[in-house]
Structure 1
């Protein structure tokens, strides 16, 4: 059994002083994750002010969340749908002309579930022309190739080849046991 009281904290992913992180949270609440139909340019300006690298003609719809804008890199001509959450403890690299549709969750972090629950991060790469359709979950270490399409409600881990249509037509399945009796502790 894991003692969660002893788990390492997630603050190690911040890469900025506490004051900067808290200032970002206020700015995010007012301008980025707000449901108000304010200008996409204002959202992009707020993200850039906190270190995001964002190309020209990028649309950010309302209710978008970005955990750490200084770890977000987006090319030109992209469309980020309403309710997208970049839970980016590591870097997220998005090419040009990419669509990330409504309510997608892109996370670069996880935890060592079989030991101390410590934070483990790895970047996400989404290449030019890709389309991550609505309500997908993209996990750390994923690379989505150029012009690939990820079908709705898909969990993506690993590599998606260029020009592929990626999904799980047979639905989810049990992968493995979390704890096994033969594991030495």
Structure 2
């Protein structure tokens, strides 16, 4: 048996209103998010809310943040999204309070079933609990819970849940020590 991408069906065809909504989002995203122009955070938060995101107070969104579907995004209070962070949320992503998603980090809910010739789409949400820090260029795959105040260090990858108050490093990420906050 071989991979046969001609048999891939994806998630099905969205209706016309979903397509229009997504096209509008792409327009707004390209003009106000994928740019070096430092639009005020409140302005960007307002746009995300118009497109269905649930967002807490004092959220910081740096330039070049890419969000696939704002209507599948929940951000708590005091969340920081660093430059070039990519929220690839085919499924819902919930981010708690006081969370830092550093520059170039990737939260990736979609994947493919490599065991099937049709390469079926697999999509699982991500939960980022309070106080988590996802380091620069780190990657989190779908179906993962990043426990309260855990850290995923620079350039690390996880496809497994991270225990609360742990510092995790590598590919795959492993606990390297306990996080102590003074």
TM-score by length of 1: 0.87
**Cα separation, 2, equivalents of 1:111 and 1:29:** 27
**Cα separation, 2, equivalents of 1:71 and 1:44:** 14
Query: In the alignment, what sits opposite 1:178?
Result: none
**Cα separation, 2, equivalents of 1:41 and 1:13:** 30
Query: In the alignment, what sits opposite 2:168?
Result: 166
Report the CA distance shift for 1:38/1:74 in structure 2 as closer, same or farther (over 3 A).
same
**Cα separation, 2, equivalents of 1:45 and 1:13:** 25
Size of the alignment, in residue pairs? Answer: 169
TM-superposed deviation, 1:32: 1.6
User: Given the alignment of the two structures, is residue 125 of structure 1 paired with residue 100 of structure 2, yes or no?
Assistant: no
Consecutive aligned runs of 4 or more in structure 1 exceeding 6 Å deviation: none
**Cα separation, 2, equivalents of 1:107 and 1:114:** 20
TM-score by length of 2: 0.88
Find the residue that maps to 2:107 and give its secondary structure. strand
Query: In the alignment, what sits opposite 1:80?
Result: 81
Gaps of 5+ in 1: 173-185
Gaps of 5+ in 2: 173-182
Trace 1:33-182 onto structure 2 (pairs within 5 A). Answer: 33-115=34-116, 116-168=118-170
**Cα separation, 2, equivalents of 1:4 and 1:52:** 33
Contact 1:154 1:167 (C-alpha < 8 Å) held by counterparts: yes
Over aligned residues, Cα RMSD in angstroms? Answer: 1.6
TM-superposed deviation, 1:12: 5.7
**Cα separation, 2, equivalents of 1:85 and 1:28:** 12
Contact 1:73 1:93 (C-alpha < 8 Å) held by counterparts: yes
TM-superposed deviation, 1:11: 5.4
